[in-house]
Amino acid sequence: MRSKVTVVGAGNVGATTALRIQSLGYADVVMVDVVEDLPQGKSLDMLEAGPVVGSDVQVTGSNSYDESADSDLVVITAGIARRPGMSRDDLLLTNMRITSSVTQEVVKHSPNCIIIAVTNPLDAMVQNVYETSGFPRHRVFGMAGILDTARYRTFIAQELKVSVEDVQALVLGGHGDDMVPLVRYTSVGGIPVTELMAEEKIDQIVQRTRNGGGEIVALLKEGSAYYAPSAAITQMVEAVLLDKQRILPACAYLEGEFGINGLCVGVPVKIGANGIESIMQIDLTADENKALQSSAASVQELVDVMREAQASAS
């Protein structure tokens, strides 16, 4: 029997993710959205692509969570998107309320699932989903590091005119302006990037990576990125469904790793059938660690704002 994956949110990110999963053929897909008939229409369109792409999986759209019952994995993309001039922080409280409501429904209908959170501001929303769900930490994590790393790798490949497949890199920290691309761990065909590119150019690429989401928002005028995010989500989904034991950057709840406790932050992890199989502790230089702690502090600020709002509401 095929696995079952539910994608909550049938907007650009959610629908494109559902399409990518359907094309792989590993799992039946359910799309849930509050907009009447939207997930049903998009799901039917995807289902009718099955004969062309050679996929027999079922794609179902719903305005309730009943169809999602007993999902193996749930991807949460629901929330409002950034608009030009809007920071991820501006999204915080609205998307906190949305992800809290979604998570409660997910837990009710699929109590044994793994949750991948994607809603922005990413790290704070992962924290919210983790705390709301009551799930163990290996079953709740967020997609951001793969996307940030993909942008970083793209810019390096373009600059050096090499295949993106030969660029290996790692981006840690929060999914925001103070993320931490690790230049020391960046290589091209096994060659350290510092031997192939001037420091000034590397610094420019690091900064462009940090502004990657905002750059696309400014160009689109309305909405935000979804092709690359959906590809990154699908890589995580595949790692779980096929028990691939992939080493990937993900937003995970830390309990002392990297000197961070009780907070969801982007770090390298191993992803397999159980979700996060382990957190990969790596040695950081003093400067790298300082940057990571600073990024974590920014996430903590958002979490504190959420907790204040929750306390006031109660």
Residue with tokens 């974590």: 296
d(CA 259, CA 288): 13
From 115, 140, 129, 143, select the one nearest 226 (Cα to Cα): 143
* Residues 252/150/90/261 CA torsion (nearest 10 deg): 20
DSSP 135-167: --GGGEEE--HHHHHHHHHHHHHHHHT--GGGE
d(CA 123, CA 145): 10
Q: What are the C-alpha distances in Å from 255 to residues 137, 179, 247, 251? A: 10, 20, 19, 13
User: What are the residue numbers of the active site?
Assistant: 175
Beta partners for 307?
A: none
Q: Report strand pairing: 27-32 vs 3-8.
A: parallel
